[in-house]
Structure 1
Amino acid sequence: MSRPAHSRLAAGALAAVVAVALAGCAGAAPTASGGSAAPDEHAHESDTRIAVTYDGGVAVLDGETLETVDTVDLGGFLRVNGAGDHDGHVFVTAADGFHVLDTGLASDAVELTGEVFEAEAAGHATPHAGRTALFDDGTGEVRVFDTDAIGTGTLPAFDTIASEQAHHGVAIELSDGTLLSTLGTAESRSGVRHLDAGGAELARNEECPGVHGEGALKGEVVVFGCENGALVFDDGAFTKVAAPDAFGRSGNAYVTDTSAIAAMDYKTDPDQEGYLLSALALVDTAAKSMSIVDLPEGIEYTWRGVGRSAHDDIVVLSADGSLNVLDESGEIVDSWDVIEPWESPAEWQEPHPGLRVVGDIAYVTEPASDRILAVDLHTGEVTADVTLDVTPNEFVVVGAAGH
């Protein structure tokens, strides 16, 4: 079924925003790692793997069959980010730092490699252009290294860049060796600075209150979310893109490297309870403009529920159980009911349905039933549906098309 979307601006006034990781960072101390499930007989049928966190560890699934390949034990609240390398590694964020997980895609062994980038409060992990930046919210320290250097069991050589003050932040190294890194304190965040390869400041912009998240788009244009719009970095210069509302918070960017349009989550009430949102911001990084798409009644999502397809479409997993495909104007072009309706979590860390899009496949979790399913975005057909032995929380897809 198709449902029309409603835009506040005239048709054609597009805009894009930024997608990346969210804020929270860690839980209790990790326990020893170890596998607990026998290797799955279908382990080599797919060139992708899925790493799913649960209370007590991470399960690694085959990307095609969704069957569990193996699990590793790790305690506390865990987050996962694709490492961006060619061998399917994953960064598992725990209380003591960033752990490297080998999903076995290249090695056939699912295991924590023993590489731990220690951090007081591990935050965003951002691979880009062959380099990865890890941000420690507790110190403001950024560590940058070659993306493909991980997985050896020994920490790779890395560069260290200090922030002016510790804050919940993010950094990204560009292909020219320069670095974009956020500005802020433990109480507030204000903008982004541009540093040369030696760490000297080239430029800064502090018109981005509450700066959060980043996304690299077509032409290596980078967007950051603000509480009053977005901040765009293009060809050495920052441009502030204002939101149409006095408080218009965009905090996560959902982007592709083939489109200039960033889709971002969007919130207009700073005192809103719960985590369900009913509008998307679209930031056109070429035109330096933002438009807001109000979704049809009943379609609401959290920061875990937005992705981009191989055709640059925007995919939204709604709390009514539907999976919705929007074009870059914000119009819904397809919609299918895929899981049961659900409500906003009381806390953002709590398990609730999540979405990851790889190519033309949408992976959806349903923690209430311990399910994970794969949906063909051409037809809406569920191509795989598995009930796990654990309750899924966060997850990431890595591999040939997943990093």
Structure 2
Amino acid sequence: MKRWRMIPVLLATLIVSACGTETGEPTSEGRSGDDTEPGAVEAAGPEPRLAVTYDGGVLVLRASDGEVLLDHPAEGFVRANPAGDDRHVLLSTSRGFEALDLGSWTHSHGDHGHSWIGEPRLTGTVFEAQEPGHVVHHEGHTVLFDDGTGSWTVFDPHDLADGTPETDRDAADQAHHGVAVRLGNGNLVHTVGDAETRTGVRLVTPAGHELAASDACPGVHGEAFAGEVAVFGCEDGALLVDGRTITKVDSPDAYGRIGNQAGSEDSPVLLGDYKTDPDAELERPTRVSLVDTRKGTIRLVDVKASYAFRSLGRGPEGEGLVLGTDGRLRVIDVDTGRTTATIPVLDRWREPVDWQQPRPALEVLDGTAYVTDPATSRLHVVDLARRRVTDTFDLPQVPNELVASAG
């Protein structure tokens, strides 16, 4: 395993491209992170905002009324990932991971907080990566994985407000489409594989010493937390990482792939997709998986409609949410597997074969679900308590990816 530590350099005006310096080094223009940032005004409370990517750029919307606050052009296919501080979004671009300030944030002061709003903008901070992949936030740390090098970068996302986050970097033995996560105790879990195959995970100390490992997870993909247990999907089940213990949970089928997951700190049960055809160009499953980390079991639930990889979410009480291709949002009790509500949101839709093409995306913020509708260039607002759509916003572009920030 390769290992190194890096302190970022503050650049006043220059952003170095990904091919010009070592992968993963953040560069920035810099800005103040205190309550007196230029142009910011104090608000009566948090102002949630949304980042919506489209073919050619990214929009920033005010979540309350859908007003477009920023339309930033960008070349190539742009992905959006929450940075973990309820303020910034990390855009995966040809440069690497670029920090987008949504311009809305809250500073907590013990028993109260002060909320501020300003203009959204690209900050100039870039974490360089050959192939920017998964972004994982947990316990105050954000980890960026570079599929092109097999390396990852760890930092405190709250330091993005200053534009100069200190970073730790490390790398797997071989590059692969992987993921890494920093645990609350400082240990780190990362996937193992190469360009052709992925086989499992390693649990290492902050110094890089191996504590545990498992190669019993063919095709390992993705990560989410169920309570404090990290869950990694496999082609035949899931791996559970609890402290220093790694446990394999087998799927009911010989090939039962879990590749996309939605976890909740309020629930020990993970919601995942579930596919059974290894030869399908695009399988359109109707069953989801519920991985119970207490019992080490997988329950399958038929939601009576197919869904896509952006269709899974969790509600404010840990309930499972699945957006079906019939246009309905299902609310699932993850402890019993029972569907407790079905909310009409969209017209029927069909998942495109190319994963980069737009499809409806689900994003949840507290008790509100946001659902994009590429067919009509709209965004729907769903009140989960009232079980209905309460607002719909017209968008100037066809939406693709969606990230919500509490502000």
**Would you say same fold, with TM above 0.5?**
yes
- 8 Å CA contact 1:46–1:62 kept in 2: the answer is no
Q: Distance in 2 between matches of 1:101 and 1:379?
A: 32
Residue pairs, 1:51-66, within 5 angstroms:
51-66=51-66
Q: Could you tell me which residue of structure 2 aligns to residue 264 of structure 1?
A: 272
Which has the higher relative contact order, 1 or 2, with Cα contacts under 8 A spaced 6 or more apart?
1
Partner of 2:179 in structure 1?
170
- What is the Cα-based RMSD across aligned positions, in Å? 1.9
SS across alignment from 1:150:
helix
Is structure 2 residue 225 aligned with structure 1 residue 216?
A: yes
Find the counterpart in structure 2 of residue 333 from structure 1. 340
AA at the equivalent of 1:90: V
Moved more, 388-397 or 77-86: 77-86
The structure 2 residue matched to 1:240, chosen from 238, 242, 248, is 248
Q: Which residue of 2 aligns with 1:185?
A: 194
Could you report, residue by residue, the CA deviation over 1:309-334 in whole angstroms, capped at 9, with x for unpaired residues?
A: 01111111111111111111221111
Identity over aligned pairs, percent: 44
Q: Distance in 1 between matches of 2:189 and 2:392?
A: 40
**Cα offsets for 1:8-65 (capped at 9, x unmatched):** xxxxxxxxxxxxxxxxxxxxx9xxxxxxxxx9xxx98852111000111110111222
The question of whether the paired residues in 1 share the 8 Å contact of 2:365 and 2:406 is answered with no
CA distance in 2, matches of 1:185, 1:64: 44
Could you say which residue in structure 2 is the equivalent of 1:93? 92
Matched, 1:308 2:314: yes
Provide closer, same or farther for how the CA distance between residues 59 and 275 of structure 1 changes in structure 2, counting only shifts above 3 A: farther
Greater fraction of residues in strand = 2
2:141 match? 131
Structure 1 letter corresponding to 2:92: T
The correspondence for 2:154, drawn from 144, 150, 159, is 144
**1:191–1:209 contact (8 Å) kept in structure 2:** yes
Query: Does 2:348 match 1:380?
Result: no
Deviations 1:71-110 (A, max 9, x none): 2221110111111114x10000112200000001135121
- Contact persistence 1:261–1:284 (CA under 8 A): yes
The equivalent of 1:364 in structure 2 is 371
Distance in 2 (CA, whole Å) between partners of 1:72 and 1:246 is: 46
- What is the CA–CA distance in structure 2 between the aligned matches of 1:84 and 1:131, rounded to whole Å? 8
Q: Deviations over 1:229-255 (max 9, x none)?
A: 000011211000000101000011111
Residues matched between the structures, number = 357
The one-letter code sitting in structure 2 at the alignment partner of 1:121 is E
Match of 2:204 in 1: 195
Which ranges in structure 2 are unaligned for 5 or more consecutive residues?
A: 1-18, 20-38, 106-116
Structure 1 residue 306, shift from structure 2 partner:
1.1
CA contact (8 A) 1:45 1:64 kept: no
Secondary structure at 1:304 match in 2: coil
Match of 1:351 in 2: 358
Give the whole-Å Cα distance in 1 for the aligned partners of 2:367 and 2:101: 25
Q: Structure 1 CA distance, aligned partners of 2:372 and 2:283?
A: 17
In structure 2, give the amino acid aligned to 1:164.
D
Structure 2 CA distance for partners of 1:147 and 1:257, relative to 1, 3 Å: same
Identify the range of structure 1 (259-268 vs 195-204) with the bigger mean alpha-carbon deviation.
Answer: 195-204
Give the Cα–Cα distance (whole angstroms) in 1 for the partners of residues 56 and 278 of structure 2.
Answer: 33
Q: Secondary structure at the match of 2:267?
A: coil
Do the aligned residues in 2 keep the contact of 1:66 with 1:373 (CA within 8 Å)? Answer: no
> Aligned in 2, Cα 1:66/1:276: closer, same or farther, shift over 3 Å?
farther
Helix, strand or coil at the partner of 2:161: coil
- Residues 261 and 273 in structure 2, CA contact (< 8 A), matched pair in contact too: yes
List per-residue Cα deviations over 1:165-193 (Å, max 9, x = no partner).
Answer: 00000000011111000000000100000
CA 157–45 in structure 1, closer or farther in 2 if over 3 Å, else same: closer
Letter paired with 1:353: P
Counterpart in the other structure of 1:17: none
Question: Structure 1's 115 and 44: CA in aligned 2 closer, same or farther, altered over 3 A?
Answer: farther
> In 2, distance between residues paired with 1:51 and 1:44?
22
Q: Separation in 1 of the partners of 2:329 and 2:271?
A: 16
CA distance 1:375–1:244, change in 2 (3 Å): same
- Whether the 8 Å contact between 1:353 and 1:365 is mirrored in structure 2 is yes
CA distance in 1, matches of 2:324, 2:202: 35
* CA distance in structure 2 between the aligned counterparts of 1:273 and 1:134, rounded to whole angstroms: 29
Contact 1:275 1:348 in 2 (8 A): no
Partner of 1:13: none
